[in-house]
Amino acid sequence: MRAVVYEAPRVFSIKEVPTPEAGAGEIRIKVLQTGVCGTDLHLHEGQFMATFPFIPGHETVGIVDQLGKGVTGFSLGEQVTVNPNSSCGTCSFCRAGRRLLCPEIKGMGSNMPGAFAEYLVAPCAQVFSVEGLDPDVAVFTEPTSCVMHGVDVLDPRPGSSALVIGAGPTGLLLAQVIASSGSSHVTVAARTQFKLDLATKFGIDSTYKMNPQDLSGDIKALYAMSGGEGFDIVVDATGDVNVCQSLFELVRFGGTVLLYGVGDENDRVSISPYEIFRRELTIKGSFAEIESFPAAVSVLRSGRAKTNGIITHRFKLEEYQKALDVQRTDPSRHKIVIIP
């Protein structure tokens, strides 16, 4: 089969590799399409737990192609998606039911073979049916699962106000799920108008177009939009260190800051401990997902999380470099998918 294979940071090729066989308890999936994530840019640089050599790709939808011995509950030809993450099951975190914090966490597309390939093999426990869903919706299951975990971490109080900075695919999904989880008013701020238009189409209460050259002006304007007290919840969905720094100026006394976007491992922000103490602020982080796939499939099937119009670019496997370049620099892109 053909696959994207990294040998080292920034060094990859599209080449023929052995087609995997489904072992006992495993399912082989013929990949229909796989989403390109901002995390893939970090993996390209050797960050985010990348272990070389590896095949990237962790947001996928495909059809069951082969059933390993002992697998039940799935049929050949059934459309499925894959939870890429797994844990050791025996460490103190796993035993306490906090598997995402497992120090031995494994991820398809980072330290295990991923889905920028024609076929993928996964344990049946990590495979979920998305039969009947449009593949353009089903491909969002993994990012929606990350969102479901993020909202679980956030635990928004009924009636709270929320600001999500960033209107990428996960930013829009996150805003929608926060809105349906009890927040009375959700604002999305971003630099790109067509993404804000989608937020409005998806039912988000208000939007704000940010100025790339005037973050301080944006902070003042957003603070005014909050009614002059700040927002109960402020979320970064960009990973931009300057945006992360600004969150503390926008959160209300007693409010919560959620760091959701994937930043560079070397980035740093600063905040006065006195500010956290005096204002009783809560700072939370949300990393990936491991147990939220059933909830993600459910909200996608129900339409509570809408995705129509988010996919803007489609590339062949051989065009992977072009897909990375567009992901990194093209302001017209939203979601990119690779079609093997």
| Same domain, yes or no: 131 and 243 | no
| Same domain, yes or no: 157 and 281 | yes
132 found inside a domain: yes
pLDDT, tens only, 313-329: 999 999 999 999 999 99
Q: What is the mean pLDDT of residues 75-94?
A: 98
Would you say 164 and 178 are in contact if contact means Cβ atoms under 8 Å apart? yes
Q: What is the pLDDT of residue 144?
A: 98
Q: How many domains does the chain have?
A: 2
The span from the first CA to the last CA of the chain, in angstroms, equals 10
Residue 123 to residues 18, 86, 131, Cα–Cα distance (Å): 18, 10, 18
pLDDT, tens only, 15-28: 999 999 999 999 99
| Same domain, yes or no: 87 and 175 | no
| Same domain, yes or no: 311 and 191 | no
Q: What is the mean pLDDT of residues 161-168?
A: 98
Residue ranges of the alpha helices (H) in the chain?
38-44, 92-95, 135-138, 141-154, 169-179, 193-201, 215-225, 241-250, 273-279, 293-302, 320-329
| Same domain, yes or no: 6 and 136 | yes
Q: What is the pLDDT of residue 265?
A: 87
296 found inside a domain: no
292 found inside a domain: no
| Same domain, yes or no: 121 and 187 | no
| Same domain, yes or no: 53 and 123 | yes
241 found inside a domain: yes
Residue 137 to residues 33, 134, 143, 182, 285, Cα–Cα distance (Å): 11, 5, 11, 24, 26
Q: What is the pLDDT of residue 49?
A: 85
Residues spanned by the domain of 157: 147-285
CA 37 to chain centre: 7
| Same domain, yes or no: 222 and 327 | no
Would you say 215 and 240 are in contact if contact means Cβ atoms under 8 Å apart? no
| Same domain, yes or no: 99 and 180 | no
CA–CA dist 248, 261 (Å, integer): 16
| Same domain, yes or no: 124 and 28 | yes
Asked if residue 264 has pLDDT above 90, the reply is no
CATH code, domain with 18: 3.90.180.10
Q: What is the mean pLDDT of residues 286-303?
A: 96
Task: Output the CA angle 58-63-69, nearest 5 degrees.
Answer: 95
247 found inside a domain: yes
CATH code, domain with 156: 3.40.50.720
pLDDT, tens only, 115-149: 999 999 999 999 999 999 999 999 999 999 999 99
Q: What is the mean pLDDT of residues 30-34?
A: 98
**pLDDT-based confidence at residue 220 (cuts at 50, 70, 90):** very high
CA–CA dist 236, 247 (Å, integer): 7
Question: Across all residues in the chain, what is the average pLDDT?
Answer: 97
16 found inside a domain: yes
CA–CA dist 115, 291 (Å, integer): 20
181 found inside a domain: yes
| Same domain, yes or no: 320 and 277 | no
Q: What is the mean pLDDT of residues 194-209?
A: 98
Q: Which of 22, 11, 53 shows the shortest CA–CA distance to 119?
A: 22
Indicate yes or no: pTM above 0.75.
yes
Q: Which amino acid, residue 121?
A: V
| Same domain, yes or no: 121 and 36 | yes
Would you say 99 and 126 are in contact if contact means Cβ atoms under 8 Å apart? no
Query: pLDDT > 90: what percent of the chain?
Result: 98
Query: By CB neighbour count within 10 A (0-12 exposed, 13-18 middle, 19+ buried), where does 30 fall?
Result: middle
318 found inside a domain: yes
Asked if residue 232 has pLDDT above 90, the reply is yes
Compute φ and ψ for 282, nearest 5 degrees: -115, 130
**In this structure, what token pair is assigned to residue 114?**
């991923």
